[in-house]
Structure 1
């Protein structure tokens, strides 16, 4: 059954499509963060292993919430690796090694890419699509990614 929540059906579809691309980015970032957790090497292994675990746990919750937001708009969330890879703006791997600096730099670039994308869409959701709820939701995601990026950036002094 389609939702009747005061937003035109075409606008709901566009919001859901933008969120689906974001979900793909989040899932790829989650996978890359898991990879860092599993494969980190170096003298700082243990504390970075725990740090990456905290980050992927936060992303895991965010992914579930984002998929549920798409469903609340009356659309299905992408849920396959093929769909995620077709929708994402991120790449699977850029780093040059398994040391913490290489992982952190790559993950930071991805968070910042998501931040820019969110920032570009927040007003679009509210103004063009008349979807204040998704605009507010995206603002919360923006704040989460800004904090996660800050945490990554703090390791690069």
Structure 2
């Protein structure tokens, strides 16, 4: 069925491609956070175990929302891990077991996504005339900013 939501097919395709790249990075961050949840050690084990669990649960919801946004604008969300890793800009280094390295790594990834979202918010609105996806990314931005703040709160800078 033809989609008529006030955004050209060309623009919806471009937005979907960018959202799939975002989806890939969200997956990498989710997996990294979950892995740190499993690998955390030290005197604050339970605190970090719970912190990471709360964040990966939130990231799982965000992943679902990104995929559903892609479907909403008439395209398919990438779900194959092999393809997601090709699209992702975030990397998975060796798993550090020390908490400061985990926090620094996760904070950096959130900040990378935050910068990307700021750019997408403007592009989706101005370049692709998709204010819905722009607004959607604003919501994601707020969530990533809060998660990064929570992580930064454990580190003195």
| TM-score in same-fold range (> 0.5) | yes
Which whole-Å deviations, capped at 9, do the CAs of 1:43-80 have from their partners, x for residues lacking one? 11111000000000000000001100000011000001
Match of 1:103 in 2: 102
Kept after mapping to 2: 8 A contact 1:16/1:75: yes
CA distance in 2, matches of 1:83, 1:73: 21
Match of 1:69 in 2: 69
Q: CA RMSD in A?
A: 1.0
In the TM superposition, residue 104 of structure 1 has moved relative to its aligned partner by 0.7
Structure 1 gaps, min length 5: none
CA distance in 1, matches of 2:57, 2:46: 17
Which aligned pairs between 1:76-91 and structure 2 lie closer than 5 A? 76-91=76-91
For the residue of structure 1 that corresponds to 2:154, the secondary structure is: helix
Kept after mapping to 2: 8 A contact 1:70/1:76: yes
Match of 1:55 in 2: 55
For the residue of structure 2 that corresponds to 1:74, the secondary structure is: coil
CA distance in 1, matches of 2:2, 2:122: 25
CA distance in 1, matches of 2:55, 2:87: 22
Determine if the alignment matches structure 1 residue 30 to structure 2 residue 22: no
Kept after mapping to 2: 8 A contact 1:2/1:74: no
CA distance in 1, matches of 2:12, 2:151: 34
In the TM superposition, residue 2 of structure 1 has moved relative to its aligned partner by 3.8
CA distance in 2, matches of 1:28, 1:40: 18
CA distance in 2, matches of 1:135, 1:29: 21
Provide TM-score, normalisation by structure 1: 0.97
Provide TM-score, normalisation by structure 2: 0.97
Corresponding pairs, count: 156
CA distance in 2, matches of 1:145, 1:94: 23
Which ranges of 4 or more aligned residues in structure 1 deviate by more than 4 Å?
none
